[in-house]
Structure 1
Amino acid sequence: MSFSLELEGRRALVTGGTKGLGEAVVSVLLDAGVRVLTTARSIPETSSDGVHFVAADLSTADGCSAVAKAVTEQLGGIDIIVNVLGGSSAPGGGFAALDDYQWSKALDQNLMAAVRIDRALLPSMIERGSGVIIHVTSIQRELPLPESTTAYAAAKAALSTYSKSLSKEVTPKGIRVVRVSPGWIETEAAVNLAKRLAEHEGTDYEGGKQIIMKSLGGIPLGRPAKPKEVADLIAFLVSDRAGSITGTEYVVDGGTVPTV
């Protein structure tokens, strides 16, 4: 029995698609026959054949406008939006280390980029009566790390609430909106977070990993998720095989969240 996702010829925007989870999503969608446009602030040294690329800072309104324009010009429209962009670069030190700049930076990157991209591209989806939007949130909206990711966690919580509200508004118009909430994924960004925590606490990288593990309460699976494992789920969710799934959130955390 074949389990083709039947995505050939679909047009997708994947934000933050040159590293980590975003890069894995781009690869999986390409393999499924999707035409993909992706973004980052700078042109990557290497890129996958067939991927359209736009250099833009999506934490700004101008950057989002430039990407929306490129989607129209290079893809001729959009069927799938996967908002992977996100991250935290705030210093350690808890709430006192978070000034207005750090808060604004976290919100612009983790919430407003998705809001602006959706606002620009959703009208064409609604006019056509079909489309899928995936918002990548985080289990940190439930399990924030007060030492270093309070602003990030709050922004992801806002993204999750926004996504739920959006789904209720646009699902009757033919647009599915789904959240994917990863735990710790084995990406470059996760490694950098562990290193920052280690530096602040005067320990090594393994010590930084243990700080994260302890803060999360452990990972019952015994390891972080692989980027492709999460990307495979996203590919399924954007396909017609998931045609009745909307408004919900899929947690991929190896059992980290301890509650029902």
Structure 2
Amino acid sequence: MQQQTNYSNELSGKIALVTGGTKGAGKAIAERLKAAGATVVITARNKPDQADPDLYFVPADLSKRGAADSVAKATLERYGRLDILINNLGGSETPAGGFAALNDEHWESTISTNLLAPVRLDRAFLPQMLENGNGVIIHIASIQGRLPLYDATLPYAAAKAGLINYSKGLAKEVTSKGLRVLTVSPGWIKTENVKYFLERIARSSNSSIEEAQQSVIAALGGIPYGRPAEPEEVAELVGFLASPRAKYLSGSEFVIDGGTIPTI
């Protein structure tokens, strides 16, 4: 007789933090962890459109110096520890036009958001995690770390490549001390920000939204699955990796892209 396992409370008693947790994939991840029984803290620059009393919101702009320490202080003062850290915050607001359209401010702000923010937040929570001898850190990177789109998101791609490398190095340092560090690299996700991203491309290329979408798919080399990922699909992978079922996994990158990356 096959044994049925109930995963609904597998994170019961765990304290989790999701950055960028008010929208898109971050929101879906926060809800997935909550559904598994975790107590969830979310942080973002702006509060959620609809407040959820079961998600403790800490406002912060993690691209700024000092913000990570403030988030860590608020979390640890309220709960005493953190067990699961999901560094989901990320995004690109750089203009299209290739390297010549990008100045130092574009590069610095993008790297601060996509690479330095998770580095600073890890640094703020790691001492407590190491003292407790357990914890899970998951960095949400991107397939652009391997498959950069030069026209509009080159700084973002470079920052995510750095995040993947950093995540691997951190795993080598802390896995023997009881912590697990993992990377999830999604392809194109169907979020609210996709609309604005496509609008920027359409304006710069004098094309329609549909043509802009096809240009992104073409730049990615196509999506064999035929569509972008839903935020909940990414959240399901993260929920598994954060759970005890994935207890032997550390230092690995997990790509969820519908088959987009064409190489092994």
Shorter-chain TM band: over 0.9
Q: Give the partner amino acid of 2:74.
A: A
Aligned residues: 260
Q: Is the 8 A contact 2:23 2:48 kept in 1?
A: no
Mapping of residues 9-24 of structure 1, within 5 Å = 9-24=13-28
Deviates more, 1:107-116 or 1:47-56: 47-56
| Number of the residue aligned with 2:90 | 86
Q: Partners in 2 of 1:231 and 1:75 — Cα distance?
A: 23
**Ranges of 4+ aligned residues in structure 1 off by more than 2 Å:** none
Query: What's the CA shift for 1:6?
Result: 1.2
What do the CA deviations read for 1:138-161 (whole angstroms, capped 9, x no partner)?
000111111000000000000000
Q: Partners in 2 of 1:190 and 1:225 — Cα distance?
A: 12
Q: Percent identity?
A: 52
Q: Which runs of 5+ in 2 are unaligned?
A: none
Q: Is the 8 A contact 1:126 1:173 kept in 2?
A: yes
Q: Partners in 2 of 1:243 and 1:237 — Cα distance?
A: 8
Query: What's the CA shift for 1:64?
Result: 1.1
Query: What's the CA shift for 1:194?
Result: 1.4
Mapping of residues 34-113 of structure 1, within 5 Å = 34-113=38-117
Matched, 1:172 2:183: no
TM-score by length of 2: 0.97
Deviates more, 1:39-48 or 1:111-120: 39-48
What do the CA deviations read for 1:181-213 (whole angstroms, capped 9, x no partner)?
000010012222111111110011111101100
| Number of the residue aligned with 1:253 | 257
Mapping of residues 124-135 of structure 1, within 5 Å = 124-135=128-139
Q: Quick one: which of 233, 237, 251 aligns to 2:237?
A: 233
Matched, 1:206 2:213: no
Matched, 1:8 2:12: yes
Q: Quick one: which of 128, 149, 152 aligns to 1:148?
A: 152
Query: What's the CA shift for 1:50?
Result: 1.1
TM-score by length of 1: 0.98
Q: Give the partner amino acid of 1:22.
A: G
What do the CA deviations read for 1:203-243 (whole angstroms, capped 9, x no partner)?
11111101100100100000111100110110110111100
Q: Give the partner amino acid of 1:85.
A: L
Query: What's the CA shift for 1:133?
Result: 0.3
What do the CA deviations read for 1:106-138 (whole angstroms, capped 9, x no partner)?
100000000000001011110110000000000
